[in-house]
């Protein structure tokens, strides 16, 4: 038996099975055989060893009519934990997750001022207490990091981030040197999309696109539930696709980028401009109304309440997004598009208009089979996606055994 176990480990069969069950969820032995190049005999031996180690479990599918009851296989909840962290302009969201994507614990870590050194030290200094609070849980020595900007996930480098004002930072090496843990770096929109793909609004699809809409717009493209990175980690920069010829100037240097006309900031700027030019809105009747303090969420709520002016502003922004969605549908033919971030969550109208325009502009044979959903995860999504990504990239069976 020891000889068999050694040979199986060398082939990586148990790691393969764990990764498949992580990504695709509960399945039968037959489905496992179809998802891998492993024989049924190898799968049976490996599954038995994983069960003995407390990593996998069997669940009866239905009442048996005789013989061995048919079973499904799944990972055991809470057996091992992995850490993920997501950085925004306020600081970190740190989370601990099991192999099934369940959040075991989470913590916000404020960073002010937001410098590279301060962000790095804040997370490093918080980790010991956070890990200690997890008790005797088996912590996998891997760390996933999500950040805004162009991320080279192959090299673990933040190439540039307009939001943070940083460039060419080798984050993975910094954390690996300090912790001794393998670290993976991922764009935060791609990370949030990975959470939706595996556990959220996209969990029933194999081919999907996630689009996060806030101050900027970023996307993640997932084929067979795996993230597509592109040559330099930039696949998914939909916010910098051109949707109008004479649009506003974007920080990237181009004009008419999607993120200059469809984000929360674009909605606010357009509303302030129109109100200064004489447009009227029910928002102006509020006693504490201040044009400079007008926020996208105010306009989203007013539009939901029937304010015609706000409806027009939201409609214009959403129509631009719908055009971009149509291009994605024609180009990539996804099963679903998941819209995440505060704007889709705050505005049913925004989502409705974007979907309507997408279906009007995309090829009907493709758009009619494309579902549009709103993301389920909030702040924890980026950390969960980063944790999943480091498991995809670096998990080995040695991480799971004493």
Distance separating alpha carbons of residues 189 and 222, to the nearest angstrom: 12
Burial class (CB in 10 A: 0-12, 13-18, 19+), 108: exposed
pLDDT value, residue 216: 87
- CATH, residue 53: 1.10.10.10
- Residue 275, H or E segment: helix 264-276
Sign of the four-CA dihedral 337, 260, 234, 156: negative
The strand ranges marked E within 265-350 are 336-340
pLDDT < 70: residue spans in the chain: 1-11, 61-70
Dihedral pair phi/psi, residue 185, rounded to 5°: -115, 140
Residues 328 and 217 in one domain: yes
Q: Looking at 75, 93, 118, which one is the last position of a domain?
A: 75
pLDDT value, residue 368: 93
Q: Looking at 75, 106, 130, which one is the last position of a domain?
A: 75
Residues 216 and 337 in one domain: yes
Residues 191 and 324 in one domain: no
Residues 50 and 144 in one domain: no
pLDDT value, residue 68: 62
pLDDT value, residue 3: 31
Buried b (16+ CB within 10 A) or exposed e, 228-247: ebeeebebbbbbbbebeeeb
**Cβ neighbours, 10 Å, residue 344:** 24
Distance separating alpha carbons of residues 87 and 164, to the nearest angstrom: 10
Residues 227 and 369 in one domain: yes
Residues 352 and 221 in one domain: yes
Dihedral pair phi/psi, residue 216, rounded to 5°: -130, 180
Secondary structure letter of residue 96 according to DSSP: E
Q: Looking at 25, 43, 75, which one is the last position of a domain?
A: 75
Residues 167 and 22 in one domain: no
Q: What is the pTM of this model?
A: 0.89
Residues 369 and 239 in one domain: yes
Q: Are 217 and 258 in contact (CB under 8 A)?
A: yes
Residues 20 and 164 in one domain: no
Per-residue model confidence as pLDDT tens digits over 60-69: 765 555 556 6
Of the candidates 384, 320, 396, the one whose C-alpha atom is nearest the C-alpha of residue 356 is 320
Distance separating alpha carbons of residues 123 and 342, to the nearest angstrom: 25
Residues 133 and 185 in one domain: yes
- CATH, residue 219: 3.30.420.40
Q: How many domains does the chain have?
A: 3
Residues 171 and 222 in one domain: no
Q: Is 315 helix (H, G, I), strand (E, B) or coil?
A: helix
pLDDT value, residue 4: 32
pLDDT value, residue 6: 37
pLDDT value, residue 326: 97
pLDDT value, residue 29: 87
Residues 321 and 231 in one domain: yes
Distance separating alpha carbons of residues 58 and 44, to the nearest angstrom: 12
Q: Which domain holds residue 352?
A: 203-374
């Amino acid at each position: 038996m020891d000889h068999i176990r050694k040979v199986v480990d060398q082939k990586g069969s148990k790691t393969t099975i764990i990764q498949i069950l992580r990504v695709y969820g509960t399945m039968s032995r037959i489905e496992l055989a179809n998802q891998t190049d492993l024989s049924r005999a190898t799968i049976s031996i490996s599954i038995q060893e994983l069960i003995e180690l407390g990593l996998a479990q069997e669940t009866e599918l239905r009442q048996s009519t005789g013989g061995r009851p048919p079973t499904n296989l799944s990972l055991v909840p809470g057996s091992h934990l992995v850490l993920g962290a997501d950085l925004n302009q306020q600081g970190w969201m740190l989370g601990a997750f099991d192999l099934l994507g369940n959040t075991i614990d989470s913590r916000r870590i404020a960073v002010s001022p937001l410098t590279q050194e301060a962000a790095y030290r804040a997370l490093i200094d918080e980790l010991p207490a956070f890990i200690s609070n997890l008790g005797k849980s088996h912590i996998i020595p891997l760390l996933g990091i999500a950040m805004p900007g162009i991320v080279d996930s192959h090299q673990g480098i933040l190439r540039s981030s307009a939001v943070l004002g940083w460039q060419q930072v080798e984050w993975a090496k910094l954390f690996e040197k300090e912790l001794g843990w393998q670290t993976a770096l991922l764009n935060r929109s791609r990370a949030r999309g990975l959470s939706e793909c595996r556990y959220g609004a996209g969990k029933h699809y194999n081919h999907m696109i996630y689009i996060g809409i806030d101050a900027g717009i970023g996307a993640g493209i997932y084929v067979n539930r795996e993230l597509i990175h592109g040559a330099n980690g930039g696949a998914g920069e939909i916010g910098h696709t051109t949707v109008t010829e004479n649009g506003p100037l974007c920080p990237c240097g181009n004009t008419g980028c999607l993120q200059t006309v469809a984000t929360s900031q674009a909605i606010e700027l357009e509303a302030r401009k129109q109100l200064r030019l004489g447009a009227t809105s029910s928002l102006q009747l509020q006693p504490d109304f201040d044009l400079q303090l007008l926020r996208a969420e105010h306009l989203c709520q007013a539009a939901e309440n029937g304010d015609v002016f706000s409806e027009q502003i939201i409609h214009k922004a959403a129509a631009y997004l719908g055009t971009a969605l149509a291009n994605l549908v024609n180009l990539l033919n996804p099963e679903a598009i998941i819209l995440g971030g505060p704007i889709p969550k705050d505005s049913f109208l925004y989502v409705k208009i974007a979907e309507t325009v997408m279906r009007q502009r995309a090829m009907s044979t493709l758009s009619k089979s494309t579902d549009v959903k709103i993301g389920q995860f909030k702040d924890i999504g980026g950390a969960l996606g980063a944790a999943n990504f480091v498991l995809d990239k670096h998990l080995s069976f040695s991480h799971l055994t004493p």
